[in-house]
A and B are shown apart, each in its own frame.
Chain A
C-alpha cells in the first residue's frame, strides 16, 4: 500500500475543504485549533497501472497549513505525527508532499525518529524528489521545442539550483541533454560554487541577471510574495517551468510570449476515484493530475520497491532518475505539457493554472 502525505495550500483553502467535506467544526475553527488537530487518514483508493497491476493507496492530511511555517514546533509535530499515522496504518511507502518534505529536511527531522511509542522506519517514506526532478527535465526537453526554442542554443536558468531537485535538474541537463548553457541561481554562494565545479560548467548569476538572458527558466525555489518579474525584459518566447511550491508563477510572469507550465506535475493514463485528493489538489484535471512526488510513491509500490528511494539532500543520482522515469512511462504517467495545459484551460492561453 502507498500513501500520500499532504496538506491544503492555505488555511483558508483548508477551511473551505473542511466545509465541503462536511466537517463544520473544523471549517469554523481558528488557526490555534488547527494547530492542535491531529493528522487524519481521510481517504483510501485503488489505482490501476497501464500494465494492469492494481494497488491500494491512502491520503493522509497532515492538518498542516503554510501559515504554520513560522511556528517551528507545530510544523515539526505535524509532519512527524502524519508520518507516524502512515506507518501505523501499515502503509509501505508514503510520499512527503508539499511542504512536508521541506520541513523534514530543513528542520532536520532525521534526529526525531522516535515519535511516542513508534520508531519511524525511514524506508517507508520518500520525498519523491527523484521523480519530480525527472519530470521537470522532461518538461524542459519536450516543451521548449514546441515554442521554437532550440535547446542546443538555449540558455536555461535554474532558480534554486543548489537544492535537492535543482541540483539534480542541473546535472541531468548538463549530462543527458545538449543544453546550450546553464545559468545557476541560488541564494548561497558556496554551494553554488561547489555545484559549478561538480558540473564542470554553468554560469553563476543573480536572479535579476539571469532572467533576461534565459530562454527557459526552471523555478525550483518558492517565490516570495514580494517578488516581481519584469516581463518586459524577458526573452520571447520564454518557457517557465514553475516547479516551486506553492505554484504562484503564473500571476507573476503573465505576458505575451511567456509560457508558464506547472512543473513537476504528471497526468495518469486513467481517472482515479479519489474525492478528497481531487478537492485538495489545485489541478486542472484533478482526477488524473498529481504532483510527481505523489506519483513516486505509487511507482515504488507498483514496482514493489519499498524503500526510501528519494532521501536526504543532494543524493539524487542520474541512474535513479532514469529508473523512475522508465517506471513512470511504463505505468502510465506523462509529464504535464503545454498542449495539455492549454487544452485543459484554454482561456489562459497556455498558462497551466486552473
Chain B
C-alpha cells in the first residue's frame, strides 16, 4: 500500500519508561493488583482441586496443576514484600466474588464444563493477558517471577482446552451458556481495576484485547469456528 505522508500519529513513539516503583501512588495501586494476583492463584489452587472431585480419573493431574498455583502465589507474595507493600486481600476476595459464586454454584451441580470454562479458560486467559502486559513494566524482581509463571499458565489453559476439545459436542451448549453468564464479569473485573492498572502502566484496552486473544485461541483449539468465536467474545466487549 502507498506510503502515507499526510497522516502521522499524534502520539510520540516510545518514551514509555517504567513507573516509579517506590512512589506512594504506585505502592497503593500495587497493593490491590498484587492482592488480585495472589487471590487469583489461591482460588485457582482451590478450583483445580475441586474440579478433581468431579473428574476423579484426572485428580492426580489436577492436583499437580493446583500445586503449581500455590508456588505462583508464593512468588507474587514475595513481589509485594520486595516492594514493601501489603496486599489488600479483602479487596481481592471481593473482586473475585462473582466468578467464585458462579464456580461454586456449578461445582454444587456437578457442572464440570462450566467449572472448566471459569477456571481453566477465563481465569487462566485473564492471568496470561495480565502477566504479558505486566512483564514489560514490572520491577526487575517481579518481572523475573512473572516470566516464569506465565509459561505455567499456558499449560493450565491447555489442560481445560484439551478436555473440552475431547468433549466438545457434549459440552457445546453448556459452554455457550457459561460464556454468556461469566464473560461480562471478566470485563467488569477489568474495568474495576483499570485505574490501578494504569498506575502500573498497564492499559485496560490492552488487557481486554490480550485476554480475548488468549480466550479466542483456546476456543479455536476446542473446535469452535471463527463466527461462533467472534460472537462468544462479544460478551466480553458489551453487556
Residues of A within 8 A of B (CB): 22-23, 25-26, 28-29, 32-33, 35-38, 40-42, 69-75, 77, 81, 84-85, 88, 96-102, 105-108, 116-117, 127-129, 132, 160, 163-166, 186-187, 220-224, 243-245, 264, 291, 293, 313
Which of B39-47, B88-96, B105-113, B205-213 lies at the binding interface? B205-213
Contact of A36 with B209 at beta-carbon distance under 8 Å, contacts A26-B234, A72-B10, A72-B13 already known = yes
A129 proximity list for chain B (CB < 8 A): 1
Once bound together, how far apart are the Cα atoms of A66 and B149, in whole Å?
Answer: 37
Candidates B5, B212, B213; contact of A160 at CB < 8 Å = B5
For this complex, into which size category does the number of interface residues on chain B fall? 35 or more
Contact of A264 with B2 at beta-carbon distance under 8 Å, contacts A106-B8, A107-B9 already known = yes
Say whether B209 contacts A221, CB under 8 Å.
no
For chain B, residues 207 to 224, give those with C-beta under 8 angstroms from any C-beta of chain A: 208-210, 212-213, 216-217
A163 proximity list for chain B (CB < 8 A): 2-3, 5
Once bound together, how far apart are the Cα atoms of A126 and B231, in whole Å?
Answer: 30
Once bound together, how far apart are the Cα atoms of A354 and B169, in whole Å?
Answer: 45
Say whether A40 contacts B230, CB under 8 Å.
yes
Nearest chain B residue, comparing its CB with the CB of A21:
B227
Candidates B1, B8, B9, B216; contact of A132 at CB < 8 Å = B1
Once bound together, how far apart are the Cα atoms of A244 and B3, in whole Å?
Answer: 8
B5 proximity list for chain A (CB < 8 A): 160, 163, 186-187, 221-222
24 sampled A-B residue pairs with Cβ under 8 A? A23-B230, A23-B231, A25-B234, A26-B234, A33-B237, A38-B216, A70-B9, A72-B11, A73-B203, A73-B206, A81-B209, A85-B213, A88-B217, A96-B1, A98-B1, A116-B132, A127-B1, A160-B5, A221-B2, A222-B6, A222-B7, A223-B6, A245-B2, A264-B2
Once bound together, how far apart are the Cα atoms of A224 and B210, in whole Å?
Answer: 33
Contact of A38 with B233 at beta-carbon distance under 8 Å, contacts A25-B238, A81-B209, A96-B1 already known = yes
A77 proximity list for chain B (CB < 8 A): 206, 209
B235 proximity list for chain A (CB < 8 A): 25
Say whether A33 contacts B11, CB under 8 Å.
no
